[in-house]
Amino acid sequence: MVSPILIIAIGLGAAFLLGFVNEDRKGIAFALTLAALAAMSLIALGWTLAFAAGNAQTADILTAGFPPPFAINLRMGPAEAALSLLVAATGFLSAIYMRDALYRHGRRAMAVLLVAIMALTGIVMTRDIFNLFVFFELIVIATGGLVLLSEDRRALAAGFKYLVVAQVISIMLLIGIAFVYHAMGSLNIDDIGPVALGFSGAGLALFLVLVALFLELKPFPANGWALDIYESAHPGFSAIFSAASGSAALFAADKVLATSPAWLPLATAIGIITFIGANILALRQNNDRRLLGYSSVAQIGLLLTIVGQRDLLGDSYLFIAGGVLVAHAIAKAGLFWMSGLVGHRDLKDWAVLRANPVLIFAFATFVAMLVGLPPFPGFYAKWDLAHILMAGDRAWLVALILIGALIEAGYLFRWFGFATKREAPEGFPGFSVNKMGIVFVTLLAGWTSGWIWGDLSANPNVLSMVPVLFALAFLVLEPLPARIKNLIAIAGLVGWFVFRYPAYDPLQLVFAIIILVGGAVIFLASFNWQGRRLGFYPPAMLMYAGLAMLIEAETSFTFFASWEILTLGSYFLILRGKMSEPHALSYIAFSLGGAFAILAGFALAANGTQPFEMAALADVAQTAAPYVFILLAVGFMTKTASIGLHIWLPGAHAEAETDVSPMVSGILLKAGLFGLWVLLMHMGQTQFYGINLTYFLVWIGAISAFLGGLMAIFQEDAKRLLAYSSISQMGYALFSLALMNHLGWLLALMFVINHYVYKSMLFLAVGGVYARTHTKLMYKMGGLITLMPFSFVSVLIGIIAMSGVPPLSGFGGRWVFYNAIMTADMRLPIILIFLSGPIGFLYLFRLIHSIFLGQLKDEHRKLKEAPFWLLVPQMIFVLFLLAFAVVPGLILRRVDAYISTFFPEGGLEWTSGGIISEFGYWNPVAIMLVIGVIFVSVFLLLLWMNHDAQKVKQFNIGFAGERPYRPETTHFAWNFFAPYRKAMGFLVLPVVTTFWNAVTDVLHETADFARKFYTGNGQTYALQALGFVVVLFLIGSGGTP
Amino acid sequence: MAEIAMMSGFALILLGIFGALTNRNLLRMIVAFSIASTGVNVVLVSIGYLPGRTAPILDAAVPLESAAAQIVDPVPQALVLTAIVIGLGVTALMLAYAYSLFRHRKSLDISDFTELKW
């Protein structure tokens, strides 16, 4: 092994050597700088690999030939090696990135850069507290120099403010060190402590050292100076400042804290306040680099929180802290480097990245890394952290961390939405090749780190799961034509189904058919798109991968990982819609909120045991069970869009692309239902203060079914109508699941199947109409029956099936439903559910009436039938519905038998003549025949009477003396159900939307008000730093005896 | 004696910080910080001082065998030397900044440089 002291020696030596290079030979100076940084990185890499392979022991390097404390010693352990690598590699990449600026400023700037990186590795390795101070001062001076590499003139002022605050910090640090020495008689960190938590004597000394180190971490709110640097410095330097300086300073704080565990709560408190505070303030940022600054501050705060929990984390400490740190460092450096590719500083200017799809992929990767989504290190770390904290009775901290993470996800995904949806500037000059190269290297590092953490994790590696790999393969296939990719996608879905078929139990089988086979059917519609259709298949397949893994998940980890993967995939998919930017954001916000609830629920249930089998949910301790139930149920209900958590759905489903709407409606919603199913299967009888929790679910289901339907009838937009109807349908399903009896579950399963079929069919039909008419507003259409007969047939069949009139499968559902509720004893929700039936018919009627019947619009006279490939799946669905209506037993019988293992009572009896229940029987074939005969007779009668009919001309409409004030009001299909609105409109007031808007408004206003705290005055910043110390001291000394 | 030195060291620190926070002029701030770091150095030295002992220089007056009992603690003095050097570097850098700020912005008032905020 090469001695680690060479890392420092090479940095320092090369910086001196630069002094001998001729001022004009910039190429040589730059080559020397790069060579030095590369050598430093390689030494660190060698040590890291050696530790990873288990070939190295933690080494102490003595300087000056004396053992500590008589001379400084450096230490190289696994953490030191990885951090040195992180620091040196960041420096190396940033040097290449800043080549132009470094050439402009010459060898002196390069020397300063080398000193900065050398000092950062020094901070990481040294075990001497005064040496720590010296390295920190070197960083201060180097930072003061490197800030000036920026072309932004404001950097000058930012640098001075930084120096002012750095002076205050260094005074405290030095006094603290001096008194620590006085108290301990040694400057070696290993000789310090343990110092008890106190604010006099040795305690005060350690307090000063710690508080100075904390101030280096830019704690909220004493961090205005750092934000100014982030905003104005060269992005190449900001990357170092965020990724390398932040990590090194954190490690310094960690080293000192490790000596005196009594002080850990202080770190936790400062960390979590910083994490939440900085994230809230970031909400109002429009400047990309300042936003990244806030986010950096927040992430370091999170890390400090984790450092503060090291007493609890034990052996997992390095894995967790390292995961968050690596994810933060790689993503933040990557984003800062990307910001150098963007010419202007507003978040919306990032739309320019669309010029290169790989950059958009990189952006998505970095955002996912910061939020802690799979398959990146932060995900594994978050999972373990939540589990250990929950088991250690620190649920409050889990809650705070997750709230902060959700806020961070909010602004990061909003930003991503800007980049993908906002207008890109014209006349784009092109990206610098070496800067882009650095971003790509970082991207690669991000995925590699994901693989490493997955490999290190005790849980399965997400990146070794076949469905995920298959989905990621589509990234490589992106250059192929869309139709070929479509074929591969269909083959993949069907192939996986065939491959896994023997392993499914009947419940999984139904969901697998819907997800995999159903997904393949919907993909048929995607043949309608030509060209390459960039960015469609990777997220779509990611969503399917998540879904396919979800239904097979045996442990809570796999379940949760699948859940996050499908959430992420579907977010990118929904975002593709032309107008879906805000809706995709609200989708991801609710989904992540739900996912975090699920994480907390699983962590609480597991109580420290990993892996945790899903089936073990049944054995959760009585005290924790109701909370587990509530957390999981809330999480799953964000996906089923139950009332209160539904506001994302209408926009997300309605604004999505034509073939995406059925995917996210017909298939994706089932994930939530599947989750609820698993939950109720294992924890269905959980009591909370004596009330069975399913009782609440019954109510939520009933209210969702009722209000969802009511909101649907007042829509003018056909796709929104269908979207609201999904809320209603999922409400039905939730209701019947929560009934907790045999028929209820059977019914829920019928809803799963039926909803997939008719919602997919209707979305495709409406999408086909939209493709021709270019409008989704129903009152702008009419009379399309003759022009689009196939679409009409599928809407008609869909409506018959959905509204539950005979003879189609909806009626079967109704029949089972009535049987199911007759055995239940909750009267009030049943009344709501009954009312939802006719309401469902009202909005469905409107769909067929306003689009296909009535007068044809002038501009629509030359329309053709919907595109062929959109019709193909619709016709398949029509055939299926007819078949399912005649022989429902084909599927349901097996499931019925399976449900009997949970509810032996109250099953159905399947005979050749029909299906018999306690209360009656249902003969699908007979019903089909009877209805057929009635239909044919009435049809013939109408034909016979047809000569009396009079063709109504357009404008043959009378008004009751009213003068129409807006053109659409002359159309009676507009505001079709006005009388109902008068009667029941108060029920659909957007109370829930108003509530959630108020939540975000309050957060935003708080942010806008609070950020005024950062006045921009260097003296104020210094005063804030001092105030921070004083407040901390007062609270601390007031809190300890 | 050591107490007096330490008290005056702290007095200098407080004085310096007070000056740096109340004077808007960049140069006065820099001077104030210099005073504060001088105070820190005084505090440092006073920590290592032991009454009745001599300077930590090994010569004829202080033989090696009995040095440990005769001299004051040399470590803080070494620290002070380092701190002085670092202080010089930082002060020089701040002065360079002040010069550059004045050249570009024609002002030495810290409250004029608040274009980066919020």
Inter-chain residue contact A141 with B83, CB threshold 8 Å: no
pTM of the model as a whole: 0.94
Chain B environment of A164 (Cβ under 8 Å): 20, 29, 33, 110
Q: How far is A225 from chain B (nearest CA, A)?
A: 9
pLDDT digits (tens, 9 = 90+) for A172-215: 999 999 999 988 889 999 988 788 888 888 899 999 999 999 99
Q: d(Cα A469, Cα A490) in Å, to the nearest integer?
A: 16
Q: d(Cα A280, Cα A282) in Å, to the nearest integer?
A: 5
Inter-chain residue contact A1019 with B110, CB threshold 8 Å: yes
Residues composing chain B: 118
Query: Which member of A153, A174, A1026 has the closest CB to residue B104?
Result: A153
Show the tokens assigned to A434: 């070496």
Q: d(Cα A107, Cα A102) in Å, to the nearest integer?
A: 8
Q: How far is A1018 from chain B (nearest CA, A)?
A: 7
The three-class DSSP label of residue A805 is coil
Report the mean per-residue pLDDT for chain A. Answer: 91
Interface residue B46 vs chain A (CB under 8 A): no
Alpha helices in A126-200 (DSSP H): 129-146, 154-184
Q: Residue A700 falls within a domain, yes or no?
A: no
Closest A-chain CA to B22: A1019
In angstroms, how far is CA B16 from the centroid of its own chain? 10
Nearest to A794, CA basis, from A463, A549, A525: A525
Hey, of B34, B108, B116, which one would you mutate to test binding to chain A, going by the most A CBs within 10 A of its CB? B116
Inter-chain residue contact A163 with B94, CB threshold 8 Å: yes
Q: d(Cα A96, Cα A93) in Å, to the nearest integer?
A: 5
Inter-chain residue contact B97 with A228, CB threshold 8 Å: no
> A1025 pLDDT exceeds 50?
yes
Q: How far is B49 from chain A (nearest CA, A)?
A: 11
pLDDT digits (tens, 9 = 90+) for A624-652: 999 999 999 999 999 999 998 999 999 99
Question: Tokens 């074929």 appear where?
Answer: A487
Alpha helices in A392-465 (DSSP H): 395-421, 433-456
Please classify residue A1037 by burial: count the beta carbons closer than 10 Å to its beta carbon, then call 0-12 exposed, 13-18 middle and 19+ buried. Answer: middle
> A562 pLDDT exceeds 50?
yes
Rounded average pLDDT over B66-79: 85
pLDDT digits (tens, 9 = 90+) for A25-76: 999 999 999 999 999 999 999 999 999 999 999 999 888 888 888 889 999 9
Q: Residue B118 falls within a domain, yes or no?
A: no
Residue A126 is given by DSSP the state B
Inter-chain residue contact B82 with A161, CB threshold 8 Å: no
* Cis ω for the linkage preceding A807 (within 30 of 0): yes
Q: Residue B12 falls within a domain, yes or no?
A: yes
Closest B-chain CA to A229: B116
Q: Residue B17 falls within a domain, yes or no?
A: yes
The answer to whether the beta carbons of residues A407 and A278 sit under 8 Å apart is no
Domains held by chain B: number: 1
Q: d(Cα A107, Cα A743) in Å, to the nearest integer?
A: 79
Chain B environment of A166 (Cβ under 8 Å): 90
> A500 pLDDT exceeds 90?
yes
A62: enclosing H helix or E strand: strand A59-62
CATH of the domain at B40: 1.10.287.3510
Hey, of A174, A181, A238, which one would you mutate to test binding to chain B, going by the most B CBs within 10 A of its CB? A174
Nearest to A96, CA basis, from A573, A433, A482: A433
Can you give the pLDDT at residue A812? 80
Query: Which member of A158, A163, A1023 has the closest CB to residue B116?
Result: A158
Inter-chain residue contact B21 with A1023, CB threshold 8 Å: yes
Closest A-chain CA to B36: A171
Q: Residue A670 falls within a domain, yes or no?
A: no
Hey, of A108, A128, A149, A163, which one would you mutate to test binding to chain B, going by the most B CBs within 10 A of its CB? A163
The answer to whether the beta carbons of residues A206 and A52 sit under 8 Å apart is no
pLDDT digits (tens, 9 = 90+) for A886-928: 887 777 888 888 888 888 887 788 887 678 887 888 888 888 8
Lowest mean per-residue pLDDT among A408-412, A452-456, B50-54, B83-87: B50-54
Q: d(Cα A959, Cα A947) in Å, to the nearest integer?
A: 28
Inter-chain residue contact B118 with A1022, CB threshold 8 Å: no
Q: Residue A680 falls within a domain, yes or no?
A: no
Inter-chain residue contact B113 with A157, CB threshold 8 Å: yes
* List of residues 6+ apart from A774 with CB closer than 8 A: none
Q: Residue A580 falls within a domain, yes or no?
A: no
pLDDT digits (tens, 9 = 90+) for A481-495: 999 999 999 999 999
Query: Which member of B36, B90, B104 has the closest CB to residue A140?
Result: B90
Per-residue burial over A468-498, b if 16 or more Cβ lie within 10 Å, else e, is bebbbebeeebebebbebbebbbebbbebbe
CB neighbours of residue A999 within 10 Å:
10
Highest mean pLDDT pick, A150-164, A956-970, B53-67: A150-164
Provide ipTM, 2 decimals.
Answer: 0.96
> A682 pLDDT exceeds 70?
yes
Query: Which member of A137, A159, A171 has the closest CB to residue B13?
Result: A171
Nearest to A71, CA basis, from A60, A79, A81, A80: A60
Domain extent at residue B27: 2-51+72-112
Rounded average pLDDT over B45-54: 83
Domain extent at residue A278: 5-159+219-424+432-456
Lowest mean per-residue pLDDT among A366-380, A783-797, A948-962, B25-39: A948-962
Closest A-chain CA to B112: A1017
Show the tokens assigned to A932: 């057929």
Query: Which member of B43, B79, B105 has the closest CB to residue A130?
Result: B79
At residue A1041 the predicted structure's pLDDT band, cuts being 50, 70 and 90, is: low
Q: Residue A546 falls within a domain, yes or no?
A: no
Closest A-chain CA to B13: A171
Closest A-chain CA to B25: A1019
> A962 pLDDT exceeds 50?
no
Lowest mean per-residue pLDDT among A175-184, A867-876, B55-64, B75-84: B55-64
pLDDT digits (tens, 9 = 90+) for A967-1000: 566 667 777 888 888 888 888 888 889 999 999 9
Interface residue B47 vs chain A (CB under 8 A): yes
Rounded average pLDDT over A595-623: 92
The answer to whether the beta carbons of residues A516 and A548 sit under 8 Å apart is yes
* Cis ω for the linkage preceding A375 (within 30 of 0): yes
Per-residue burial over A346-372, b if 16 or more Cβ lie within 10 Å, else e, is ebbbbbbbbebeebbbbbbbbbbbbbb
Chain B environment of A232 (Cβ under 8 Å): 116
Using H for helix, E for strand and C for coil, what is the string for A898-959?
A: HHCCCCCCCCCEECCCCEECCCCEECHHHHHHHHHHHHHHHHHHHHHHHHHCCCCCCCCCCC
Q: Residue B65 falls within a domain, yes or no?
A: no
Q: d(Cα A736, Cα A705) in Å, to the nearest integer?
A: 11
Q: State percent of chain A over pLDDT 90.
A: 68
Chain B environment of A134 (Cβ under 8 Å): 82, 86
The answer to whether the beta carbons of residues A660 and A573 sit under 8 Å apart is yes
Inter-chain residue contact A171 with B37, CB threshold 8 Å: yes
Closest B-chain CA to A155: B116
Nearest to A838, CA basis, from A805, A792, A881, A882: A805
Closest B-chain CA to A145: B93
Across the A:B interface, residue pairs with CB atoms under 8 Å apart total 119
A394-399 contacts at long range (C-beta below 8 A, 24 or more positions apart):
A394/A309, A394/A312, A395/A600, A395/A604, A397/A268, A397/A272, A397/A305, A397/A309, A398/A600, A398/A603, A399/A600
Phi and psi at residue A208, to the nearest 5°: -65, -45
pLDDT digits (tens, 9 = 90+) for A785-819: 999 999 999 999 988 888 777 778 778 888 888 88
| Residues A295, A359, A36, A448, CA torsion sign | positive
Q: Residue A522 falls within a domain, yes or no?
A: no
Please report the residues numbered 53 through 92 in chain B whose beta carbons come closer than 8 angstroms to any beta carbon of chain A.
75-76, 79, 82-83, 86, 89-90
Inter-chain residue contact B113 with A161, CB threshold 8 Å: yes
Interface residue B6 vs chain A (CB under 8 A): no
Chain B environment of A119 (Cβ under 8 Å): none
Residues composing chain A: 1041
Inter-chain residue contact B33 with A224, CB threshold 8 Å: no
Q: Residue A756 falls within a domain, yes or no?
A: yes
pLDDT: which is higher, A891 or A710: A710
Closest A-chain CA to B30: A164
pLDDT: which is higher, A408 or B112: A408
Q: d(Cα A126, Cα A508) in Å, to the nearest integer?
A: 56
Rounded average pLDDT over A933-946: 90
* List of residues 6+ apart from B88 with CB closer than 8 A: none
Phi-psi region of A635 (alpha: psi -120 to 50; beta: other; left: phi over 0): alpha
Inter-chain residue contact B44 with A137, CB threshold 8 Å: no
Inter-chain residue contact A163 with B90, CB threshold 8 Å: yes
Q: Residue A399 falls within a domain, yes or no?
A: yes
Domains held by chain A: number: 2
Inter-chain residue contact A1016 with B113, CB threshold 8 Å: yes
CA gyration radius, chain B: 19
Interface residue B93 vs chain A (CB under 8 A): yes
At residue A956 the predicted structure's pLDDT band, cuts being 50, 70 and 90, is: low
Q: d(Cα A496, Cα A386) in Å, to the nearest integer?
A: 33
> A346 pLDDT exceeds 70?
yes
Q: d(Cα A490, Cα A215) in Å, to the nearest integer?
A: 55
Chain A environment of B32 (Cβ under 8 Å): none
Inter-chain residue contact B115 with A154, CB threshold 8 Å: yes
Rounded average pLDDT over A844-862: 86
Phi-psi region of A533 (alpha: psi -120 to 50; beta: other; left: phi over 0): left
Chain A environment of B33 (Cβ under 8 Å): 164, 167
> A23 pLDDT exceeds 50?
yes
